[in-house]
């Protein structure tokens, strides 16, 4: 398959009609498989990928589990906003022209999808210039699924997010789903379901009239129960919508209350009570300070003078002590003289003179010093105690002042909040509305719960009917007339399971070889000796070095994981046997320069006969462009206009266009 052209009409950021030539060109020396699109983030690169996927895959472009309603909503969102603004009846259209060769027959196809703002899609298919009007939309999609089977498209048309998802998936989930789709195991599962339906049908055909009637009654009852359950679920959705509306109204009223000072109104009474309490605390603290001021505190106001006074008083106390000692000594000197005369008769006079001389010198200064204050010992003790009390009073006043300051600050803040708070009457209407809405919300929640219970009960009854039906079918299987059919179906199922297991084993082995070859091509030199082991049951992929040691994928860098993901995708693509174009959107964002070099040199030029790259200027920059220039067929630049919020396409890559403009 080769894409020839893509035409976008009012699709996403592309207003009016944009025609894009996708046909790879050649020269006399090289095939040139790469068509390069350059654009800054948000310019519209992803729109190109989305359009290609949408054209070929239809609803499955969004995933396997997307229902019709979701797909319709998606299509409505894809219409260019400017086109709708200019004309609310505007339509969007995606047209993909491609060629496909099967069993030697070469055909040209044009697939077109068009839809309006209601999301209703019209799909047409032309083959070799002639539109096939015999096919409806579902039949056209079935034909496209033959060309690009469901699940295969993800292996060839992907973006950086898909690479990151696969790179980080260490559960094997993505790989398992891809391999099952490649091998057609989902078809085997459907065949098993069809065989089960077949058994039920022949069981029903061979059953007695009463059993047939009972089966029909149970089937109809189950159908009605499921219909009722769906009705109840629709009511649930309606109640949810009502709840959402009430929640919006509640948020609106709460915002009004808050904007009018409701946040302060809620605590106004408590803040008033606290303000009264703070005033009482202030009075108590002021009284305590007055008591401290009326005590010895004034003495603490002149600490230097008071320290000088104490020093002077201590000096006078020492003088008094010396004088008292001298007086006491003088009274006892005659007695000392008598004792010395008795003990030292010959030398008594000399000894006495020396002793008298010593004490006279010792106390000579005390007799000359003047006592200016001359207070008693008791008065000195009182003054000293008062000074100590004064220092304590000073510290107490400092602590009390801090408490008064904190109390005053809190009181001022409370006063400001009280002033901000509106009167309760002003908010009473809003609070009344809020209470009414809360009551409605509570009632709706109860109603919603009841609806859930009703729906659950109906589903349980339907499941009970299904069990009874299964018992009837099982009981009928014992009838001799259908035993042979049951035996054949069981044997077929066993054969299908065996076939699926053997096919999986074979293809997993092939996938290991393809992956190892691709990984060695893309990885750096130090990684070249790694091989791969894939568990055929869990599909976990383990990298193994030359010594048989498993490499922990979690320890790999982000770039190494992306190379791993590219190798997986390339291996799966080759395993599919499909020859499809490769479309990659922003593939290099998380790669280092060494890994980027590998992709630029060995992946993109060899990924397929046609490779469409959607890149920013920081991914495929000028250096990388030069490296693969001989493989680039042609390039485009997507430019986004901030004024119109639309994008336009021009030929040439970023700097090429700048060079042309300069010339």
- CATH number of the domain where residue 436 is located: 1.10.287
Instruction: Answer whether 469's CB lies under 8 Å from 218's CB.
Output: yes
Taking all residues of the chain, what is their mean pLDDT, rounded to a whole number?
Answer: 78
Going by C-alpha positions, the residue among 206, 305, 235, 157 that lies closest to residue 614 is: 157
Can you give the pLDDT at residue 603?
83
Q: In this model, does residue 202 exceed pLDDT 80?
A: no
Q: Do 230 and 106 have their domain in common?
A: no
Can you give the pLDDT at residue 624?
86
pLDDT band at 663 (very low <50, low <70, confident <90, very high): very low
Tens digit of pLDDT for each residue in 331-363?
Answer: 877 787 788 787 777 777 888 788 877 777 766
Q: Do 299 and 398 have their domain in common?
A: yes
Q: Do 142 and 252 have their domain in common?
A: no
Check the CA dihedral 365-368-369-371 and report its sign. Answer: positive
Domain boundary among 442, 476, 510: 476
More confident residue, 230 or 47: 47
In a domain, 382, yes or no: yes
Can you give the pLDDT at residue 646?
93
Residues whose CB falls within 8 Å of the CB of residue 172, separated by 6 or more in sequence, listed in order:
535, 538, 539, 540, 541
Q: How far apart, in whole angstroms, are the C-alpha atoms of residue 177 and residue 622?
A: 38
Least confident segment among 198-202, 443-447, 456-460, 465-469: 198-202
The predicted model scores a pTM of 0.55
More confident residue, 524 or 23: 23
Q: What are phi and psi of 132, to 5 degrees?
A: -90, 100
Q: In this model, does residue 462 exceed pLDDT 90?
A: no
More confident residue, 491 or 528: 491
Structural tokens at position 504: 């999986």
In a domain, 483, yes or no: no
Domain boundary among 401, 420, 439: 420
Q: Do 407 and 431 have their domain in common?
A: no
In a domain, 530, yes or no: no
Instruction: Answer whether 562's CB lies under 8 Å from 163's CB.
Output: yes
pLDDT band at 367 (very low <50, low <70, confident <90, very high): low
Q: Do 246 and 381 have their domain in common?
A: no
Tens digit of pLDDT for each residue in 96-109?
Answer: 999 998 767 889 99
Percent above pLDDT 90 for the chain: 15
Q: Do 230 and 296 have their domain in common?
A: no
More confident residue, 200 or 454: 454
In a domain, 289, yes or no: yes
* Mean pLDDT within 429-446: 81
Q: How far apart, in whole angstroms, are the C-alpha atoms of residue 614 and residue 638?
A: 10
* Mean pLDDT within 551-557: 70
In a domain, 436, yes or no: yes
Can you give the pLDDT at residue 261?
52
Q: Which contacts (CB < 8 Å, 24+ apart) does range 646-654 have?
A: 646/13, 646/14, 646/15, 646/80, 646/82, 647/13, 647/14, 647/39, 647/43, 647/44, 647/47, 648/18, 649/14, 649/18, 649/20, 653/36, 653/38, 653/620, 653/625, 654/38, 654/617, 654/622
Q: In this model, does residue 38 exceed pLDDT 80?
A: yes
* Mean pLDDT within 558-566: 76
Can you give the pLDDT at residue 13?
93
Domain boundary among 383, 398, 420: 420
pLDDT band at 648 (very low <50, low <70, confident <90, very high): very high
Q: Do 308 and 235 have their domain in common?
A: no
Q: How far apart, in whole angstroms, are the C-alpha atoms of residue 599 and residue 589?
A: 12
Can you give the pLDDT at residue 526?
52
Burial grade of 578 (CB within 10 A; 0-12, 13-18, 19 or more): middle
Count how many residues are written for the chain: 663
Can you give the pLDDT at residue 264?
45
Range of the domain at 236: 209-261+424-476
Can you give the pLDDT at residue 476?
55
Residues whose CB falls within 8 Å of the CB of residue 109, separated by 6 or more in sequence, listed in order:
97, 98, 99, 100, 125, 126, 127
26 Rama sector, left if φ>0, alpha if ψ -120 to 50, beta otherwise: beta
39 Rama sector, left if φ>0, alpha if ψ -120 to 50, beta otherwise: beta
Q: 3-state DSSP call for residue 594?
A: helix
Can you give the pLDDT at residue 7?
96
Can you give the pLDDT at residue 171?
61
Tens digit of pLDDT for each residue in 117-130?
Answer: 888 899 999 999 99
In a domain, 442, yes or no: yes
Q: How far apart, in whole angstroms, are the C-alpha atoms of residue 530 and residue 542?
A: 10
* Mean pLDDT within 85-94: 92
In sequence order, the β-bridge partners of residue 113 are 94, 123
Instruction: Answer whether 117's CB lies under 8 Å from 80's CB.
Output: no
Can you give the pLDDT at residue 263?
46
Q: How far apart, in whole angstroms, are the C-alpha atoms of residue 635 and residue 624?
A: 14
Q: In this model, does residue 481 exceed pLDDT 60?
A: no
Q: Do 71 and 111 have their domain in common?
A: yes
Q: In this model, does residue 262 exceed pLDDT 70?
A: no
Can you give the pLDDT at residue 656?
64
Q: Do 10 and 135 have their domain in common?
A: yes
* Mean pLDDT within 67-74: 84
The angle at the Cα of 126, spanning 123 to 130, to the nearest 5 degrees, equals: 135
Instruction: Answer whether 53's CB lies under 8 Å from 153's CB.
Output: yes
Q: Do 16 and 141 have their domain in common?
A: yes
Structural tokens at position 586: 């922003």
Least confident segment among 2-11, 421-430, 571-580: 421-430
Can you give the pLDDT at residue 567?
82
Least confident segment among 145-149, 361-365, 377-381, 388-392: 361-365
Q: In this model, does residue 3 exceed pLDDT 60?
A: yes
Q: Do 215 and 90 have their domain in common?
A: no
Going by C-alpha positions, the residue among 162, 151, 163, 175 that lies closest to residue 540 is: 175
* Mean pLDDT within 56-85: 86
Structural tokens at position 320: 């008094």
Tens digit of pLDDT for each residue in 588-629?
Answer: 766 767 778 878 888 888 888 899 999 888 888 888 888 888
* Mean pLDDT within 307-334: 77
Q: In this model, does residue 145 exceed pLDDT 50?
A: yes
Tens digit of pLDDT for each residue in 153-170?
Answer: 777 887 777 777 766 666
More confident residue, 308 or 552: 308
Q: Tell me, what CATH number does 641's domain have?
A: 3.40.50.300
Q: 3-state DSSP call for residue 645?
A: coil
In a domain, 266, yes or no: no
pLDDT band at 525 (very low <50, low <70, confident <90, very high): low
Number of structural domains in the chain:
3
Q: Do 29 and 137 have their domain in common?
A: yes
In a domain, 140, yes or no: yes
Instruction: Answer whether 149's CB lies under 8 Å from 539's CB.
Output: no
């Amino acid at each position: 398959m080769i894409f020839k052209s893509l035409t976008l009409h009012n699709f996403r950021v592309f207003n009016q009609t944009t025609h894009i030539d996708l046909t790879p060109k050649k020269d006399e020396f090289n095939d040139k498989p790469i068509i390069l699109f350059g654009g800054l983030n948000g310019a519209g690169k992803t729109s190109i990928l989305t359009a290609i996927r949408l054209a070929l895959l239809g609803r499955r472009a969004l995933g396997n589990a997307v229902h019709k309603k979701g797909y319709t909503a998606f299509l409505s969102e894809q219409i260019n906003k400017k086109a709708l603004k200019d004309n609310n009846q505007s339509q969007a259209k995606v047209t993909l022209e491609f060629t496909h060769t099967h069993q030697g027959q070469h055909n040209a196809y044009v697939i077109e999808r068009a839809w309006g703002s209601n999301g209703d899609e019209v799909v047409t298919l032309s083959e070799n210039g002639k539109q096939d009007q015999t096919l409806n939309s579902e039949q056209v999609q079935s034909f496209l699924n033959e060309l690009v089977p469901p699940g295969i498209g993800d292996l060839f048309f992907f973006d950086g997010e898909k690479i990151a998802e696969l790179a980080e998936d260490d559960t094997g989930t993505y790989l398992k789903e891809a391999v099952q789709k490649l091998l057609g195991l989902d078809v085997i599962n459907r065949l098993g379901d069809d065989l089960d339906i077949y058994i039920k049908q022949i069981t029903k055909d061979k059953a007695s009239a009463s059993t047939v009637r009972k089966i029909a009654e149970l089937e109809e009852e189950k159908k009605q129960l499921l219909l009722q359950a769906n009705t109840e679920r629709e009511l649930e959705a309606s109640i949810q919508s009502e709840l959402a509306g009430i929640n919006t109204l509640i948020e609106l009223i709460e915002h009004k209350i808050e904007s009018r000072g409701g946040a302060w109104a809620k605590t106004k009474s408590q803040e008033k009570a606290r303000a009264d309490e703070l005033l009482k605390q202030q009075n108590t603290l002021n009284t305590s300070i007055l008591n401290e001021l009326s005590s010895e505190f004034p003495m603490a106001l002149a600490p230097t003078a008071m320290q000088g006074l104490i020093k002077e008083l201590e000096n006078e106390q020492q003088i008094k002590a010396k004088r008292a000692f001298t007086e006491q000594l003088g009274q006892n000197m005659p007695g000392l003289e008598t004792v010395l005369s008795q003990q030292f008769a010959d030398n008594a006079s000399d000894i006495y003179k020396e002793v008298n001389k010593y004490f006279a010198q010792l106390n000579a200064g005390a007799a000359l010093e003047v006592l200016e204050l001359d207070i008693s010992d008791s008065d000195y003790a009182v003054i000293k105690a008062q000074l100590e009390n004064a220092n304590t009073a000073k510290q107490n006043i400092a602590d009390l002042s801090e408490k008064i300051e904190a109390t005053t600050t809190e009181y001022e803040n409370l006063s400001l909040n009280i002033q901000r708070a509106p009167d309760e009457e002003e908010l009473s209407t809003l609070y009344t509305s809020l209470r009414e809405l809360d009551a409605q919300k509570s009632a709706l929640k109860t109603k919603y719960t009841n609806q859930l219970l009703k729906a659950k009960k109906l589903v349980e009854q339907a499941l009970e009917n299904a069990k009874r039906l299964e018992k009837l079918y099982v009981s009928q299987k014992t009838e001799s007339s259908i035993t042979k059919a049951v035996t054949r179906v069981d044997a077929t199922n066993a054969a299908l399971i065996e076939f699926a297991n053997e096919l999986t084993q074979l293809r997993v082995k092939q996938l290991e070889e393809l992956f190892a070859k691709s990984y060695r091509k893309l990885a750096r030199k130090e990684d070249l000796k790694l091989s791969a082991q894939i568990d055929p049951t869990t599909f976990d992929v383990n990298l193994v070095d030359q010594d048989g040691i498993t490499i922990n994928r979690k320890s790999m860098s982000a770039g190494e994981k992306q190379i791993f993901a590219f190798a997986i995708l390339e291996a799966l693509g080759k395993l599919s046997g499909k020859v499809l174009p490769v479309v990659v959107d922003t593939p290099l964002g998380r790669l280092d320069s060494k890994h980027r070099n590998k992709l630029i040199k060995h992946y993109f030029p060899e990924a397929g006969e046609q490779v469409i790259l959607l890149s920013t200027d920081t991914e495929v920059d000028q250096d990388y462009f030069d490296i693969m220039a001989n493989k680039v067929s042609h390039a485009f630049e997507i430019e986004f206009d901030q004024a119109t919020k639309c994008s336009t396409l021009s030929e040439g890559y970023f700097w090429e266009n700048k060079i042309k403009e300069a010339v």
